[in-house]
Each structure stands twice: as structure tokens, then as C-alpha cells.
Structure 1
Amino acid sequence: MRLISIGIGCVLLSACAATPPKSDTPEPQPEIVLNLPAASTCACDPGGADDDPGVTFLEKGIDALTLGDHISAVQYFQRHQRIERTEAAAWETAVAIAFISTLPSSPFFEPQSSRASFERLSKQYRADMQVHSGVLLMRDSLEMFVSMLDHADDLRRQADGLQDDLDKREKALKRLRDLTLGSREESQ
């Protein structure tokens, strides 16, 4: 029995000697290479891979708006609202979309809807809301836009009144001519 246990011990010893010692440093893993195109083709991220990760969707929307990409701007503003889920984010998004609807080059151009949105949003704004300065500029622009719409409506009403006065005067002059010419014909 002792001979068997010595034999087993030798076998175990030789097996340990054949196994390489473990190292504390991990073995290098092969690099994974993906066969992807170099440029980003994702429609949801027009900026590509070099975008600053610290830029918010609100800021991306403002950037898209300055480039004239109204559809992307609205999408970014809506993402901002979905992610932030605050009263300020909802207000910012609504102001930005109302602003876009004042731009004649925008596919969302609806001046009357924008006016109604501004009137509602101006009542919701509070000074303690932490909102982006770009959105405050949009709000101020909306205020000027609504003021210009009101002024244009006033001018249309004045023009309509002046046209009515002109029509009345022309009728009066025509009657006066008819009366004057009619009396001359009678006297001759």
C-alpha cells in the first residue's frame, strides 16, 4: 500500500511540475475588430461620432435650428422633454416648437397656432424656472412675433376702414357729378 501511495504522489508531483505556474498578469486578449462603416449613417445622430457627449438634446436642437434643419430640431427638443421630464423642460420644448412654427421656411409654419401657444406659455413661465438662455431668446422673439401679428391685424382693420371710406366718397362724388351734369343738361 505504501508503494501505491508513493507512486500516486510521484504522479501528482510530476503533473504539478508539468503545469506552468499561474501568472498574476492576465493573458492578452485578442482585439475584436468590427466590420462597420467609418462614417455614422444613423439618421438619429446627424453629427456622427465626434459629437461632444456633454451637449444636451436641447442644445443639439438649437444647433439644428441655427442650421435650418427644423425637423431635426423639433425631434431633439422632443427628446429633451422625454429625457428631462421636468416642468422647465416641457416649457422649453413648447417654446422652441412654437418658435419654429413662426418661421416661414419651416415645414411647421403656423403663425396663429404659434400665437395661441405663446399666450398660454407666457402665463406658465415663472422666474424661478431654470431654463436655457437660448430658449429665453426664442420666447422674446415669440413675443415680438405676436406683437407684429397684432400690429398687422390692426393695419388690416385700418386699411379695410379706409377702403370703406374711399368707396363711400367715390359713390358720393359720382352722385354729385350726376347731379351736377344732370342740372346742366336740363338748363341747356
Structure 2
Amino acid sequence: MPPRIVLSSLLAASLLLLQACAQAPQSDTPVEEQAPEISLNLPAAPQCACDAPEAHDYTFLEKGFNSLIAGDFTEAVQYFERYQRLEDSPEAAWEAGIGIAYVSSLQASPSYDPAAAARRFAALNKQPWQSMDVHTHCLLLRQSLDNARSLERRIAAAQAENSTLKDELAKREEAIKRLRELTLGQKGGAP
């Protein structure tokens, strides 16, 4: 190949190389440092145990539950009543009513009044509580009151049956006593 063709080929290659370098983006960092960022799909790191726990802003309903659990029934009723006064919704009225009815049904409560608790529960049970978005603790209290009412009915039925059985037993014992007297009287009277 003649030297002129080699030289012009070399010159063309140099020009192409210079043009490619001119079109490349300029950067202050070397090419090795411009690696793409790698993102890993790892779970979030757990929070440090030394972080202070969040302060929970309890509603009066939750404070009533806490007092109920602690055995302070008077305070529980007061919290339920405050909750009912401050929250203006049928759900809040129902929740507070169930709490108060439950406390009224407890023998250890100073406001123990089973008749009032039964009346309040019957009135609350007529409301459409199934379609309400109420606190789960209130649903537990309602179920507990319903179970207690069911047990009271069963006890009353058992007591009525027991009374009937006692009457029948007394009648049978009286009939056996008369039969014995008749039988013994005939044997004793006949020589």
C-alpha cells in the first residue's frame, strides 16, 4: 500500500476518534467512578429499640375500658358518659351505652342494677348495631351481656322446672304415704 493512502487512512481514523471524543459528555470524575447506582430489594431495617414509644392519645371510650379492666367501675362509667357527650354519633351513643350497661350488670360495681342493665341492653340491642362501625371491645361487652341474659333465662327455666319437680315429688311422696297407710292398715286389721 502506498504511504499516501496509509497516511490519509490514519488521518481519517484520528479525525473520527476526535469527533467521538468531542461528542462524549464531559465529566469531572473518571469513568471508573461513574458506576450506576445499585438498588437492592431488601426489607426496611427495624427501628432502633432505643426510640421512645409513641404517646397514644386515648379516647374517653378507651380510658373507660382501661378503668373497667383496672376495676374502677365508677371512673369507667364517667369516661363512658364523657365519651357519649363529646362524640355526636349513633355509634358513640351505642358504644357508651353498652359500656354503662355492662358496668351496671357487674355485682362488684357500685352502680349494680341488673334490671336497669337488662332494660338498657334490650334497648341497645334493638338498634342496628350490626351495621355500625363500633369498637371491638364494645362488641365483646355486648356479647358478654347477651351471654349473661341467656344464662339468666336458662337459670330461670331450670328453677321453674326444679319447682315443678319438687311439687310432683311431694305429691308422689304423699301418695306413697297414703298407700302405705292403706296397705299397713289392712294387714294390721285382718287377723
In the TM superposition, what are the counterparts of 1:142-181 in structure 2 within 5 Å? 142-181=145-184
TM-score (norm 1): 0.69
Structure 2 residue ranges without an equivalent (≥5)? 1-54
2:89 aligned partner, one-letter code: T
* Residue pair 2:68, 2:76 contacting (<8 A) in 1 also: yes
Amino acid at match of 1:95: I
Summarize deviations over 1:9-62 as a string: whole Å, max 9, x none: xxxxxxxxxxxxxxxxxxxxxxxxxxxxxxxxxxxxxxxxxxx57110000000
| In structure 1, C-alpha distance between the alignment counterparts of 2:176 and 2:130, rounded to whole Å | 60
One-letter amino acid matched to 1:87: P
Deviation at 1:121, TM superposition (A): 1.1
Match of 1:87 among 85, 90, 93: 90
Q: How does 1:53-72 map to 2 (within 5 A)?
A: 54-72=57-75
Q: Does residue 115 of structure 1 match 2:118?
A: yes
What are structure 1's unaligned runs of at least 5 residues?
Answer: 1-51
Q: Which whole-Å deviations, capped at 9, do the CAs of 1:97-154 have from their partners, x for residues lacking one?
A: 1111221211222223322222221111333322111111100111111110111111
Aligned to 2:8: none
User: In terms of Rg, which structure is larger?
Assistant: 2
- Find the aligned partners of 1:87 and 1:106 in 2 and give their Cα distance: 26
- Do 2:94 and 2:129's aligned partners in 1 also have CA atoms closer than 8 Å? no
Letter in 2 for 1:151: R
Q: Structure 2 length as normaliser, TM-score?
A: 0.67
**Separation (CA, whole Å) in 2 of partners of 1:124 and 1:163:** 41
Which residue is 1:135 aligned to? 138
Shift of 1:161: 0.8
Q: Which residue of 2 aligns with 1:31?
A: none
Structure 2 counterpart of 1:125: 128
- The CA distance in 2 between the partners of 1:125 and 1:159, in whole Å, is 37
Superposition RMSD in Å: 1.4
Deviating beyond 6 angstroms after TM superposition, the runs of 4 or more aligned structure 1 residues are none
May I ask how many residue pairs the two structures share in their alignment?
Answer: 137
- How far apart in 2 are the matches of 1:159 and 1:101? 29
